[in-house]
Amino acid sequence: MKRYNINSFIDKESGKKITEFIVFEKDNKCLIFNKYSGHIILLDSNYLKTFENEKIPKELFRRLESRGFVENHNEHFCNNACDVLPEFFMVDLTNKCNMHCKYCLRNVGSSNKSISKSMIVDICKYISKYCEREHLLNVSIQPWGGEPLLELESILLMKKLIKPVGTKVHFSVETNGILLTQKTIDKLYDNQIAIGISIDGFSKVHDSQRVFDCGKATHNIVEKNLLLAKEKYKDKLGTITTVTKNNSKYIEEILEYFACELKLKNVKFNFVHKSMFSDCEELCLSNDEISDAELRMLNKIVELNEKGYHISEHNIKVKIKNLLFREYSDICHSKGCCGGKKMIVFDMMGNIYPCELTDTPTENIGNIYDKSSLISTVNKASRNRDYFIPKKANVCETCEWYVFCQGGCTVRAISCGKRPPEIDMVECAVNKALYPALVELILTKPRIINLLLGFEAL
């Protein structure tokens, strides 16, 4: 695939200035990308001559104008931060866990605490009132842990209590799968609570990192329960795989196992990051290993789809949407980290955090019993907490993917001891490898892009 820049020029037809943009070209097709607005246009390569001659046909000019390629629609560097309007809420129900994963980011086991019923009632009231006051149409709630299914009754109570007038509420839990008996699956399903099961691959790799406290393997139980849950949830069942040094070399085999044996359609792969509470540095991958694993993952997913296994990976799907539609669709990956602004986490005392930081009390930005509204609390924190300082390194200045990435995940940067504004190197490595590969896929295999998205976009 060829990649080159076209400098800004004055269009001789309209007299307007067309901004600098990047051209990706392959097989007589090209994708032009405006790194300031994040918009793309797909064109036949013949159109490139019109750029050389600096004479843009009317119809193309209209497309360029509507996509922010005409200068007065642009700002010099992306000013694309998300607005403060939280819509995704996690509630920390417990720091207890029935497992002991080698990389766990939670402070599990240090104290065995679960949330009280009265605190659940108060947090649910707080969320409901906020939704009604802000007239939100959609919000997502995720009871969190530790292992959230240890507190099943609290989850069901939350489901019953959060019913704001005029707001559609989507509930989900991420679970290690150990407690997913038929009875529990039925309760969750009947209450319309979506589930994501953490599984790190087939037994050899899963059991090297996801184990019981005593060190005993968990894969047998997780796989059995996952298949049980799949009977009920069908293709709506999601999984989360944490990629480490142990399993990254088997990424193709893991995807094959997920697609062909477990018949999964919606998977998510997250790279492990350092934890403040487990000694897992040796499980973390180098930047080159991350780029390599990400590309191997994409290639395997394409291969499986070409063979008729319609498996899609969540983060890849979000990034295809970023490229094609330039819409905000993800708290972490569409407009950089939107922790606090779009996502809030409550701890067991009703304290408010901008993301999954409830084990780090210094990151607390407020409490549900404060007089100020949630939006004022976040606005105040965004003025005086370094969590909210925009992240940018010198490499970001010329990076075409800044509009989406904006320095990556703040929690991951913090967990690696890098106080913002330092960037998150995991997301950097993923984006630098993945976005160009996705552009090539858009140009060469539109059918696969449609399959990964689950609808006809191209």
Ligand X SMILES: C[S@@+](CC[C@H](N)C(=O)[O-])C[C@H]1O[C@@H](n2cnc3c(N)ncnc32)[C@H](O)[C@@H]1O
User: Which is nearer to ligand X, 145 or 164 (by Cβ)?
Assistant: 145
Contacts by 290-294 with C-beta closer than 8 Å and gap 24+? 290/426, 290/429, 290/430, 290/433, 291/429, 291/430, 291/432, 291/433, 292/433, 293/243, 293/248, 293/251, 294/429, 294/430, 294/433, 294/434
CB 256 within 8 A of CB 305: no
- CA dist 288 and 271 (Å) reads 13
Q: Quick one: which of 277, 271, 305, 306 has its CA closest to 434?
A: 271
Find the shortest distance in angstroms from Cβ 299 to ligand X. Answer: 23
Of the candidates 143, 146, 196, 366, which one interacts with ligand SF4 according to CB under 6 A? Answer: 146
* Beta bridge pairs of residue 21: 6
Find the shortest distance in angstroms from Cβ 356 to ligand SF4. Answer: 11
| DSSP class per residue in 240-265 | EEEE-TTTGGGHHHHHHIIIIIS--S
- CA dist 367 and 352 (Å) reads 5
Residue 100 binding partner per list ligand X, ligand SF4, none, with a CB distance cut-off of 5 to 8 Å that depends on partner kind: ligand SF4
Instruction: Provide CB contacts within 8 A for 361, sequence distance 6+.
Output: 351
Residue 408 binding partner per list ligand SF4, ligand X, none, with a CB distance cut-off of 5 to 8 Å that depends on partner kind: ligand SF4
Residue 293 contacts ligand SF4 per CB under 6 A? no
| DSSP classification of residue 111 | S
Residue 102 binding partner per list ligand X, ligand SF4, none, with a CB distance cut-off of 5 to 8 Å that depends on partner kind: none
Residue 272 binding partner per list ligand SF4, ligand X, none, with a CB distance cut-off of 5 to 8 Å that depends on partner kind: ligand X
Q: Quick one: which of 294, 295, 291, 229 has its CA closest to 262?
A: 229
Residue 338 binding partner per list ligand X, ligand SF4, none, with a CB distance cut-off of 5 to 8 Å that depends on partner kind: none
Find the shortest distance in angstroms from Cβ 4 to ligand X. Answer: 37
Residue 175 binding partner per list ligand SF4, ligand X, none, with a CB distance cut-off of 5 to 8 Å that depends on partner kind: ligand X
Binding site for ligand X (CB under 6 A): 97, 103-106, 145, 147, 174-176, 198, 240, 242, 270, 272-273, 275, 280
Find the shortest distance in angstroms from Cβ 334 to ligand SF4. Answer: 13
- CA dist 183 and 437 (Å) reads 43
Find the shortest distance in angstroms from Cβ 412 to ligand X. Answer: 8
Residue 399 contacts ligand SF4 per CB under 6 A? yes
User: Which is nearer to ligand X, 11 or 200 (by Cβ)?
Assistant: 200
DSSP-derived 3-state class of residue 152: helix
- Residues at the interface with ligand SF4 (CB under 6 A): 97, 99-101, 104, 106, 108, 145-147, 176, 393, 395-396, 399, 401-402, 405, 407-408, 423, 428, 431-432
